[in-house]
Structure 1
């Protein structure tokens, strides 16, 4: 199974750190955020990785190189301008092959074991869901008997972690350009083709300076 890290965002809420450094290379306790994913993916047995980038993306390529020092083979999908999540993945599909692949947002930090996702995919997508963080109290989706549905008022909802396994067929009919992933997922949910699981471990959406500080506190606590 191949994997993709989404690393094309500008990280505007983390300025001035991201004025001259791409968000995936912002450091937490001395380590660039993206390196936590690289090590976890390698530990889980992944070897082929695609990383998309846009803002200051050459810095990512220069820092990570071909991935050999992490035990990985990295290919890059450079975007002249951000294509959003759906468009970015669609552009990279030729590098990801015809089989289901893992995708993870480059701006989350977690101790999730990616090995759990190295298994056959029944459907078009499998999402990892987490408890709703303070900055996203309403959640995204509902998990019921292993299947994921669109959020429903009055039912307990969970937040999409930014970790998933996707089948290339999810993007059937899509055209090059910028578009979001969520509408594709919701259409597949309506067809009963999206499974999911709940993760109760450590997970932080590193979108602000405050949440970056949260990650550093977690890392120092385990040091």
Structure 2
């Protein structure tokens, strides 16, 4: 897959050895509340229908859907099996995957019965994943291949930490949205804590190159037991961040690069522009 315009350039330091991890879990169950909200963005009829349904991963982008680009990039990185976490009403996903007929990787569906949070979404994939390590990514984000390849080399749990200045420079995400993303605190490459929704004082103290979490993790099967131990957060959801706190240790991999985000209607035009000419190989 060729590199999208205005996305991170190739990193010659990226590992070339065979990946340790070949399974990915893609969280595609979200309610899409922000995407459903009416906005001033000019959309095609197909895009408007996808936005109204909240199925961000199925958003038409050029001649493809967003999930096509994600699966193609994961296959480029070394993934050979992808588990999409979806809602019980997943007929559109089923039809689309049948039309795609991917041969570079196996694509499975795992049903999350209720939208009970990211940790519950991961737990829903347990049977499909089995007892193997995997990477977890958001279905409405497109991650840089060099960063994902680094995660695939990890023998244990790890988190890709994006430098905030690089996200501002190379992503399509506005500064105010990035300012609300969780900050990663680490020492000697080990995760100390994840600070969700940092206030202005915390952001200033962290500095422009503070590491930001974009929900790009490598997990061992231990995460499933961690997901089972946690309680709902104050907003009533089972959060992957709380499950991460249950793990004994997690490495942090700093990365200077951008992420394409498709969480709102106004994101669609810019994501489509940056993906123009990008080849999808499935």
Is it true that 1:148 corresponds to 2:191 in the alignment? Answer: yes
The answer to whether structure 1 residue 3 and structure 2 residue 24 are counterparts is yes
**Aligned match of 1:170:** 223
Within 5 Å, give how 1:34-183 maps onto structure 2. Answer: 34-54=67-87, 56-65=89-98, 68-113=101-146, 114-122=148-156, 125-132=157-164, 134=175, 135-140=177-182, 141-151=184-194, 153=202, 154-156=205-207, 157-172=210-225, 174=228, 179-183=238-242
What's the Cα RMSD here?
2.8
Going from structure 1 to structure 2, the CA distance change for 1:4 and 1:66 (only over 3 Å counts) comes to: farther
Identify the structure with the greater strand proportion: 1
Q: 2:274 aligns with which of 191, 201, 218?
A: 218
| 1:59–1:148 Cα change, 3 Å | same
Give the alignment's TM-score, normalised by structure 2: 0.68
Residue equivalent to 1:13? 34
The number of equivalent residue pairs is 218
The separation in 2 between residues aligned to 1:130 and 1:30, in whole angstroms, is 30
Provide the rounded CA distance (Å) in 2 between the counterparts of 1:7 and 1:220: 23
3-state SS of paired residue (1:162):
strand
**What TM-score, normalized to structure 1?**
0.83
Contact 2:56 2:262 in 1 (8 A): no
- Encode CA deviations 1:17-45: one digit per residue, 9 max, x unaligned: 32246211102334211111111122223
Larger Rg: 2
In structure 2, the gaps of 5 or more residues are: 1-21, 39-47, 165-172, 196-201
Cα displacement (A) at 1:138: 4.9
Q: Of the two structures, which has the highest relative contact order with CA contacts closer than 8 Å and spacing of 6 or more?
A: 2
8 A Cα contact 1:8 1:57, kept in partner: no
Change (3 A) 1:73 1:35: same
